[in-house]
Chains A and B, each alone.
Chain A
Amino acid sequence: EAGVTQSPTHLIKTRGQQVTLRCSPISGHTSVYWYQQALGLGLQFLLWYDEGEERNRGNFPPRFSGRQFPNYSSELNVNALELEDSALYLCASENRGRNQPQHFGDGTRLSIL
């Protein structure tokens, strides 16, 4: 069974640009979560999608947005990039059965110059 896949692996952008990150969940998982992990810091929750809808978002500005497609894959969009957006962006998927853990993709490492 394929795990959670994310693309691209690495990305370099400059301030003010826009970026789109992609995530494909484990087959059968309907929930997708996005997290940001800046260097040396813990995971910060960004967004949660389930069944195509945004269910919850963390304390991030509106320039962080995303969507989930009918096949449950997801995109994370970040507009007007700032230097502090440099981080590892992790996607996780979950089978929304009771007490199920989340499984993470390898992440996208975003560097803002």
Chain B
Amino acid sequence: RKEVEQDPGPFNVPEGATVAFNCTYSNSASQSFFWYRQDCRKEPKLLMSVYSSGNEDGRFTAQLNRASQYISLLIRDSKLSDSATYLCVVNRRGSTLGRLYFGRGTQLTVWP
């Protein structure tokens, strides 16, 4: 089983729509969680960290459910500029580990 699994999509939504992405992780020792966005042929950029109590940044809301090992990202009032691939990222630390585990990404296209 992969460390991080995401629905690859693609999600095609009109401007103004609300869209939600889900992600599951396999290792309960995972300690920190992030959403990155990656534009075509560009580097991943941090969108937001995900905190246990859930957190919001403008139109973006992230949720974490440790019991179910599940992370979500909600985008409200979608903009054309939100079109990108969204990567769910999990960080698991240990004596020899210390790297991020990336999901394959969920592709979002927002159309006019």
State the A residues within 8 Å of B (CB). 31, 33, 41-43, 45, 48, 50, 55-56, 88, 90, 92, 96, 98-107, 109
Contact = CB atoms under 8 A, between A and B. Distances in A.
A42 B98 contact: no
A15 to B, nearest CB: 23
Interface residues of B, number: 22
A24 to B, nearest CB: 14
Contacts of A90: 43-44
B55 to A, nearest CB: 13
Interface of B: 31-32, 34, 41-46, 49, 87, 89, 91, 96-100, 102-105
A88 to B, nearest CB: 7
A50 B98 contact: yes
21 contacts: A33-B100, A42-B105, A43-B87, A43-B102, A45-B99, A48-B98, A48-B99, A56-B97, A88-B41, A88-B43, A90-B43, A92-B100, A96-B98, A99-B32, A99-B49, A101-B34, A102-B46, A104-B44, A105-B43, A106-B42, A106-B43
